[in-house]
């Protein structure tokens, strides 16, 4: 080994040893600081939940006092508490929560915090911001900054914020959304709907042109078991949009509605054989009889798949001869 290489190895070793020791020391310090911070945050959270919940339960106009609120971290904790109480309850006076947000500038603080953070931390703050009632100015600033983001989670936060800010425009907001709503996005919108923030009018949603709106409509129908929407669901099966058609088929089965319709048979014909088998299995597990399923098996495959359907359904039911 040349002398130069020896020096390189020595420097590498020294750097690594120092690095490892520093990392261990930093980890210990970080663990201590974090422990203390988490302890303080949990205590404050509990305290803020108590103050805010008591005020919401008892009503009246008295102002609530939050300890240590002058600190930035405490105000962030309060913002999370306000968002969580809003998300977990309904029937409370939302004006009280809005007043707390305005008084302590929680919306501005959350937007600032989102700007300072990156990755999933930013999404977390924006999600919290989307759940509280923010002022027009902050809403505009947020939309200007993140409205065109290609990150799917940030796009979802922006949709939720828009729905929260102007619930009366909910159909328009969903129709104008550029990307397709993923199942997770739909679930988050539905949670907002459950809190009573956006109206549950499924008919205009199911009859809309846009796929996102129809998907939400189908999701609502399925979730609340609206069997009256049968005709609209069947109409949705005939659409060219594959995702909407699949969701409509699933909704039809979830509500245990009749399958012997030409549109359903047509949808079954459009599937590949593997998809068809998967769907028959799903129907069998939902409790449909082999006769009901056989009605939608394409005629030319009846000899092949008829046996499969019989066997699958029989595997869910007690065989009396056994």
Cα–Cα distance for residue pair 152/142, rounded to 1 Å? 16
- Interface with other proteins (CB under 8 A), residue from 40, 64, 69, 84: 84
Pick out residues in 173-202 that bind other proteins (CB under 8 A). 182-184, 186-191, 194-195
Comparison of 45 and 301: residue with beta carbon closer to other proteins: 45
Q: Are 250 and 286 contacting, i.e. CB atoms less than 8 angstroms apart?
A: no
What is the contact mask toward other proteins in residues 110 to 149, using x (rule: CB under 8 A)?
---------xxx-xx--x----------------------
Task: Mark the segment that binds other proteins (CB under 8 A) among 141-149, 258-266, 292-300, 306-314.
Answer: 306-314
- Interface with other proteins (CB under 8 A), residue from 108, 141, 261, 281: 281
Rounded to an integer, what is the distance from CA 220 to the centroid of its chain? 14
Q: Which two tokens stand for residue 252?
A: 């039809």
Residue 34 within binding range of other proteins, rule CB under 8 A: yes
Comparison of 10 and 147: residue with beta carbon closer to other proteins: 10
Q: Per-residue DSSP letters for 113-159?
A: HHHH--HHHHHHHHHHHHHS---HHHHHHHHHHHTT---HHHHHHHH
Closest among 35, 122, 49 to 79, alpha carbons compared: 49
Pick out residues in 246-265 that bind other proteins (CB under 8 A). 247, 250
Minimum CB–partner distance for residue 137 and other proteins (Å): 26
Comparison of 116 and 278: residue with beta carbon closer to other proteins: 278
Residue-level length of the chain? 322
Site for other proteins (CB under 8 A): how many residues?
81
Residue 24 within binding range of other proteins, rule CB under 8 A: yes
Q: Are 156 and 188 contacting, i.e. CB atoms less than 8 angstroms apart?
A: yes
Residue 223 within binding range of other proteins, rule CB under 8 A: yes
Minimum CB–partner distance for residue 214 and other proteins (Å): 15
Start-to-end CA span in the chain (Å): 80
- Interface with other proteins (CB under 8 A), residue from 110, 211, 213, 219: 219
Residue 12 within binding range of other proteins, rule CB under 8 A: yes
Long-range CB contacts (within 8 A, 24+) of 113-120: 113/76, 114/146, 115/145, 120/153
Residue 28 within binding range of other proteins, rule CB under 8 A: yes
Distances (CA, A) of 139 to 86, 112, 146, 224: 18, 12, 10, 31
């Amino acid at each position: 080994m040349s002398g130069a290489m020896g020096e390189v190895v020595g420097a590498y070793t020294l750097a690594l040893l120092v690095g490892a020791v520093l990392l261990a020391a930093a980890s210990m310090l970080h663990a201590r600081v974090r422990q203390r911070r988490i302890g303080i945050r949990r205590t404050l959270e509990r305290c803020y939940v108590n103050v805010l919940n008591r005020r919401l339960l008892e009503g009246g106009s008295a102002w609530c006092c939050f300890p240590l609120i002058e600190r930035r971290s405490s105000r962030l904790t309060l913002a999370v508490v306000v968002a969580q109480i809003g998300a977990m309850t309904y029937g409370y006076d939302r004006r009280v929560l809005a007043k707390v947000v305005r008084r302590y500038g929680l919306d501005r603080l959350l937007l600032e915090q989102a700007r300072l953070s990156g990755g999933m931390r930013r999404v977390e703050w924006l999600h919290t911001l989307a759940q509280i009632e923010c002022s027009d100015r902050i809403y505009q600033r947020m939309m200007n900054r993140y409205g065109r983001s290609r990150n799917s989670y940030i796009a979802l936060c922006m949709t939720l914020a828009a729905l929260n800010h102007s619930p009366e425009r909910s159909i328009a907001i969903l129709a104008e959304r550029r990307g397709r709503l993923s199942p997770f996005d739909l679930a988050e919108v539905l949670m907002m709907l459950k809190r009573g923030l956006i109206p549950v009018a499924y008919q205009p949603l199911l009859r809309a042109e846009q796929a996102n709106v129809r998907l939400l409509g189908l999701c609502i129908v399925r979730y609340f078991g609206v069997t009256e929407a049968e005709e609209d669901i069947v109409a949705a099966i005939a659409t060219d949009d594959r995702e909407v058609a699949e969701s409509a088929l699933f909704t039809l089965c979830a509500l245990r509605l009749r399958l012997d319709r030409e549109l359903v048979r047509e949808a079954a014909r459009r599937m590949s054989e593997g998809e068809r088998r998967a769907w028959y299995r799903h129907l069998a597990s939902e409790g449909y009889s082999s006769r009901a399923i056989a009605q939608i098996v394409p005629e030319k495959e009846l000899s092949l798949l008829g046996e499969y359907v019989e066997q699958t359904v029989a595997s869910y039911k007690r065989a009396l001869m056994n």
